[in-house]
Structure 1
Amino acid sequence: MVRVAIIGTGAISGSHINGYLEFPDRCEIVALCDIFPEKAKQTAERLGLKIPIYNDYKTLLQQVDVDLVSICTPPYTHAPIAIDSLKAGKHVIVEKPMASSLDECDAMIEAANENNKLLSVVAQNRFTNPMMKVKHVLDTQLIGPIVHAQVDSYWWRGHSYYDLWWRGTWEKEGGGCTLNHAVHHIDIFQWMNGMPSEITAVMSNTSHDNAEVEDISIAIAKYDNGSLAQITSSVVHHGEEQQLIFQGRDARVSVPWRHTASKSKENGFPQPNPELDEKLERVYSQLKDLRYEGHTGQIDNVLSAIEGNGELLIDGIQGRKTLELISAIYESASLSKTVKLPLTRSNLFYTREGILKNATYFYEKQTAVDNFNNNEITVSGEER
């Protein structure tokens, strides 16, 4: 039985808690921690959990027998809490983004390796049927070499969204929509398409003058083989349509699932390729659905790895790759230059100090509320 502690009981913690409750024969939640202990107490009472409540995670680590820690706190706290937990001999699953800088990612990965503990970074969108199935279709290489990819991470957030005390600041949130919303699609993108060799990006704040950070960014990624990708990250798009499109030499596939295969006429103009279209549809439709999706699917993966029954799909290395891409976007957009990958310690956006010094500050954050009365999260317009 894996004993679990949840650190941070804000809105996203519900996805973790509900995930663990799906596996009562494999794990149990034994403690909650929040700097606002009343919020943790309300969470425990609502779920009927008669467990201790802490306002200091270090005290929890010292006093409670825990095997796995779920970190659901603001981004700037991820690295210290994860490192302390790993050094205390606990496995860790940490919410996205993994940390505020690549330097912190390196320290987290080192702590996991030195203490022989598992470190998993939340990327729950990998654990969905459409994403898993499209990844499998791409792995078959039926569409040919990918020549262009399009990532549309479109979200919409009202002005008050950035009133929460830690949001909208480079110091505490670590960035805007590119880091905290598009992180899901950027993770999927690098998982499916690999890491590019350079990034050129721009960003702006068009609608949220209560935030230092961007509310839209557009990046162009280039690969050594000449292929290109465009990544749009936004919290100003009504309707929140989101998609990933992969254009291969012979066909295109996308999430949401769609495919089109073409072949050339004698004069170079396109004509349908129904044989390849049928192959793509057959491969996709024959894949089995996942037993668990989203956070529950990732928690199942983490528990299985702890039990010795599989490998982590998203470990610290994978989480770091996603942050590296985002850091390159921020460096390119802030300094108005093309940034080469991989990033090294000489890059200005490698450390948290470098980010705070060199990032573009759009507005001064002047509003800070402790909590919202309504903590519901919506995903693509649907309550969650």
Structure 2
Amino acid sequence: MINVAVIGTGSISTKHIAGFKQFADRCKVVALMDIYPEKSKKLNEQYNLNADIYSDHQELLKREDIDVVSICTPPYTHASLTVDSLNAGKHVLVEKPMASSLKECDEMNAAAKTNHKILSVIAQNRFLSPMFKLKNVLDSGELGKIAHAQIDSFWWRGHSYYDLWWRGTWEKEGGGCTLNHAVHHIDLLQWMMGAPTDVTAITTNVMHDNAEVEDLSVAIFRFSKGRLGQVTSSVVHHGEEQQLVFQGEKARVSVPWKVKASIAKENGFPHDESDISLEKKIEDIYDRYPKLQHEEHTGQIDNFLTAVEKGEPVLIDGEQGRRTLELIMAIYKSANTGQTVKLPLAKDDPFYTSEGVKANVRHFFEKKNNIENFSDNTITTGTLNRH
């Protein structure tokens, strides 16, 4: 039996706790920690955990019977909590974004390696059946060369969203929608397309004058062989219609799922009828890939527990978490310098450290309101891949 401790009992922790409870024959949540113990007590009762409650993570980490620590705190705390947990001999599952800086990511990965422990970074959208199906289609080569990827990370958050005390600041949240919302889609982009060579980006804040950080950004990534990727990150899009579209030499595919294979006339214009044979072949590849048994957070927790039990690699480790953060830091650098940024970022780059980022980014507005906790922390999410 794997004993689990959850550090941070805000809204996202419910996804972790519910996921762990799906595998009651393999693990048990034995401890909860939060600087607001009343929140832990509420979840303890809500999920009938009978877990011990802590307000100090160092006291929790003294327990030798804890095997896994699940970290669900604000981004600026991820690195210190992860390193402390790894040094205490625990495996760690940490929420996105992995950390506030690449330097912190490197410290976390070094601690995992030194202590021979597993570090996994939450990227739950990979654990969706249509995502695995789409990846299988792209890997099949049936689309030919991929020319363009369009990633719409569309979310909507009301003005009060940034009133929460740690949100909307470069110091504590580490960034805006690009870091904390589009991180999911940027992870998917680099998983499916590989590493880009450079990025050009613009960020702005058009709807949330109670936040220092951006609420809208547009980035263009250049990949090898002339391929391009376009990522729009937003918390201003009503309806939250999210999508990933890949335009190939022979066909286009997307999530929500759609396939189209155009045929050119003699003059290069498209025929009214598409290539039905190729579309059916691609549909068959998509349909043949089996549906995942467990999805989203539960799917990643299953993968993580299996890694702990069998010593197998996790699908999303700390190195992959770092790669995603590097793309986001490159977006911030480009947007704040007005220049195209080459990848990878060097360790002497100002955007390698939290201090460098904070010293070089624009504050769109100054944070006005500070609410300790919302009375209702229910999470509602966008429409990506629900079709």
Q: Normalising TM by the smaller chain, what interval?
A: over 0.9
Contact 2:147 2:247 in 1 (8 A): yes
CA contact (8 A) 1:31 1:64 kept: no
CA contact (8 A) 2:4 2:69 kept: yes
Match of 1:355 in 2: 357
Aligned twin of 2:305: 303
Report the residue type matching 1:379 in the other structure.
Answer: T
Deviations 1:140-171 (A, max 9, x none): 01101111010000000000000000000000
Q: Is there any run of 5+ residues in structure 2 with no aligned partner, and where? A: none
Give the deviation of 1:381 after TM superposition.
Answer: 6.5
**How far apart are 1:195 and its partner, in Å?**
1.3
- Structure 2: which amino acid aligns with 1:367? N
Indicate whether 1:78 and 2:61 are aligned. no
- Matched residue of 2:190: which SS? helix
Q: Contact conserved, 2:212 with 2:363, CA < 8 A, in 1?
A: yes
Aligned to 1:145: 145
Equivalent residue, structure 2, for 1:42: 42
Letter in 1 for 2:24: P
Tell me by how many angstroms 1:335 deviates: 1.1
One-letter amino acid matched to 1:97: P
**1:372 maps onto 2:371 in alignment:** no
Higher mean alpha-carbon deviation, 235-244 vs 264-273, is at 264-273
What amino acid sits opposite 1:327 in the alignment? M
Indicate the RMSD between aligned Cα atoms, in angstroms.
1.1
Residue in structure 2 matched with residue 130 of structure 1 by the alignment: 130
State the TM-score, normalizing by the size of structure 2. 0.97
Q: Secondary structure at the match of 2:62?
A: helix
Residue 235 of structure 2: aligned partner: 235
State the partner residue of 1:312: 314
Q: What displacement does 1:47 show?
A: 1.3
Give, in whole Å, the separation in 2 of the partners of 1:341 and 1:270.
37
Q: Normalized against structure 1, the TM-score is what?
A: 0.98
Mapped contact 2:33–2:56 kept (Cα < 8 A): yes
Q: Secondary structure at 2:232's aligned position in 1?
A: strand
Match in the other structure for 2:334: 332
Structure 2 Cα separation of the partners of residues 312 and 275 of structure 1: 37
Give per-residue Cα distances to partners, 1:319-351, cap 9 Å, x unaligned: 011100000000000111110001111322111
Q: What residue number does 1:285 align with?
A: 287
Partner in structure 1 of residue 276 of structure 2 = 274
Whole-angstrom distance in 2 between the partners of 1:162 and 1:309: 40
- Corresponding pairs, count: 382
Greater shift, 41-50 or 163-172, is seen at 41-50
Gaps of 5+ in 1: none
Contact kept, 8 Å, 1:71 with 1:95, in 2: the verdict is yes
Please tell me whether residue 251 in structure 1 is matched to residue 251 in structure 2: yes
- SS of aligned partner of 2:149: strand
Structure 1 residue 112 corresponds to structure 2 residue 112: yes
1:64 to partner: Cα distance: 5.4
Change (3 A) 1:244 1:381: closer
> What is aligned with 2:11?
11
One-letter amino acid of the structure 1 residue matched with residue 325 of structure 2: L
The SS at the match of 1:367 is coil
Equivalent-residue separation in structure 2 for 1:64 and 1:155 (angstroms): 41
